[in-house]
Amino acid sequence: MFKNILITGGAGYIGSHIAEILIKDKKKVFLLDNLSTGHKKLINHKTKFFLSDIRKINKTREIVKKYKIDSIIHLAAALSVGESQKKPKKYESINVEGTKKILEAIKTSKVRNFVFSSTCAVYQDGLSKVSERSKLKPSSVYGKTKLKGEKIIKNFCKKNKINYGILRYFNVAGASQSGKIGQVNKGDQLFKNLSVELQKKKPIFKIYGGDYDTKDGTCIRDYIHVVDIANIHLKVLKKICNNKSIILNCGYSKGVSVNEVIESFKKNTKKKIKVKTIKKRKGDMAKIISDTSKLKRFIKWKPKFNNLDIIVKSCINWENKKN
């Protein structure tokens, strides 16, 4: 089994939700984060936190040895698609070199399980519904560095007899019902941007492009509640620790358009919202949805929060509490 888990990027949005789930399951949780986009307020006080960078091999090696780490969940990364196009070296250094350094640090250690957060950005554009066997052809630097990370992990784990779970998340949204954690940084994320806008007196929701070849002309994504994503990590760890390794899509296999998200926000607030359609963003895919048959088979998974209004309400709650 597994007991002592180190989460890299554990002070971030998804990492803090995974920590909450693992603690509920009575695991010992250790977090390693350089707080570049992570936040002190997301650190669960029942975890042990190390302020460090994944590229510092000796520090990671020391933690892994001292605390008898048996499993790693590797989330630490730079993750803005737009930024990755402008700063490719940064993405290569953190997502590729950083991943290599983490692996180097666990060589000859007691780590037996390794879970990696990958992304749907590794798939070729224009496929709409993708299974794990769909064509891999990332269009962004971010996607390319994540795919490189996958390959490095697969090779290393096979060679060193470590079980791996590579999880390709689709679009993660929402916040924990505990009300203590949620998304802090504003980035490319639609739900976060709308929740922040909603705090203003006269909110204006912007739609990037209204003439995509989709049911209502706006982009379609497969959004998954962050608590469901966090739960998948625990279930995957429980399976792979029995000498299994796997690559899995993580989503709801359900396409939701930007318009539908906006309608749900409108429904869940009393504020009057103005909606403005502006120019398309470069690099945005029209539609991407996960085929999650493999995930469902592997962990006998049933999502708990597969409902747009629930995700939207949790985002609004978190934003209201934060302000």
- Residue 54 gets the label, from left (phi > 0), alpha (psi -120 to 50) or beta, of alpha
SS3 268: coil
- The partner residues of 250 in beta bridges, in order of sequence, read 169
Cβ at position 274, least distance to ligand NAD in Å? 26
Closest to ligand NAD by CB, 15 or 303: 15
Q: Residue 237, interface with ligand NAD (CB under 6 A)?
A: no
Residue of 2, 29, 37, 232 that binds ligand NAD (CB under 6 A): 37
Structure tokens at 291: 């085929």
Q: CB nearer to ligand NAD: give 52 or 257.
A: 52
* Residue number, 156 or 169, with CB nearest to ligand NAD: 169
Minimum Å distance from CB 26 to ligand NAD? 23
In DSSP terms, 73 is beta-bridged to 7, 115
Q: How far is the CB of 202 from ligand NAD (least distance, A)?
A: 28
3-state helix, strand, coil in the chain (%, to 5): 40, 20, 40
Q: Does 51 bind ligand NAD (CB under 6 A)?
A: no
Task: State yes or no: residue 176 binds ligand NAD (CB under 6 A).
Answer: no
Please, what is the minimum distance in Å from the beta carbon of residue 138 to ligand NAD?
A: 12
53 is a contact residue toward ligand NAD (CB under 6 A): yes
Under rule CB under 6 A, how many of the chain's residues touch ligand NAD? 28
Asked whether position 169 contacts ligand NAD by CB under 6 A, the answer is yes
Q: If binding is defined by CB under 6 A, does position 218 make contact with ligand NAD?
A: no
- Please report, for residues 20, 22, 244, the alpha-carbon distance to residue 68 in angstroms, rounded to integers and kept in the order given: 20, 17, 21
Distances (CA, A) of 235 to 29, 232, 239, 322: 16, 5, 6, 30
CA neighbor of 246 nearest in space, from 308, 293, 314, 311: 293
Q: Could you confirm whether 142 is annotated as catalytic? A: yes
Comparing CB distances to ligand NAD, the nearer of 57 and 273 is 57
Q: Residue 156 belongs to what H/E stretch?
A: helix 141-159
Applying the rule CB under 6 A, the residues between 100 and 119 that interact with ligand NAD are 117, 119
Please state, in angstroms and as integers, the Cα–Cα distance from residue 227 to each residue in 170, 218, 310, 314, following that order. Answer: 14, 26, 12, 11
CA distances from 59 to 63, 77, 220 (A): 6, 18, 42
Q: Does 182 bind ligand NAD (CB under 6 A)?
A: no
Shortest Cβ 95–ligand NAD spacing (Å): 8
Stretch that binds ligand NAD, among 9-17, 156-164, 192-200, 295-303 (CB under 6 A): 9-17
Q: Which region, judged by CB under 6 A, interacts with ligand NAD, from 10-18, 151-159, 198-206, 292-300?
A: 10-18
Q: Give CA–CA dist 168/107, Å, rounded.
A: 24
Measured CA angle at 80 (ends 39, 271), to 5 deg: 70
User: 5, 19, 73, 79: which one contacts ligand NAD (CB under 6 A)?
Assistant: 79
DSSP secondary structure letters along 205-231 = EEEE-S-SSSTTSS-EE-EEEHHHHHH
Check residue 14 for interaction with ligand NAD (CB under 6 A): yes
Catalytic residue among 142, 169, 212, 252: 142
Q: Is 297 helix (H, G, I), strand (E, B) or coil?
A: helix
- Residue with structure tokens 């780490």? 69
Q: How many residues does the chain have?
A: 323
11 binds ligand NAD (CB under 6 A): yes
User: Which of 156/191 has CB closer to ligand NAD?
Assistant: 191
Q: Which residues bind ligand NAD (CB under 6 A)?
A: 8-9, 11-15, 33-38, 53-55, 75-79, 94, 98, 117, 119, 169, 171-172
* Residues involved in catalysis: 142
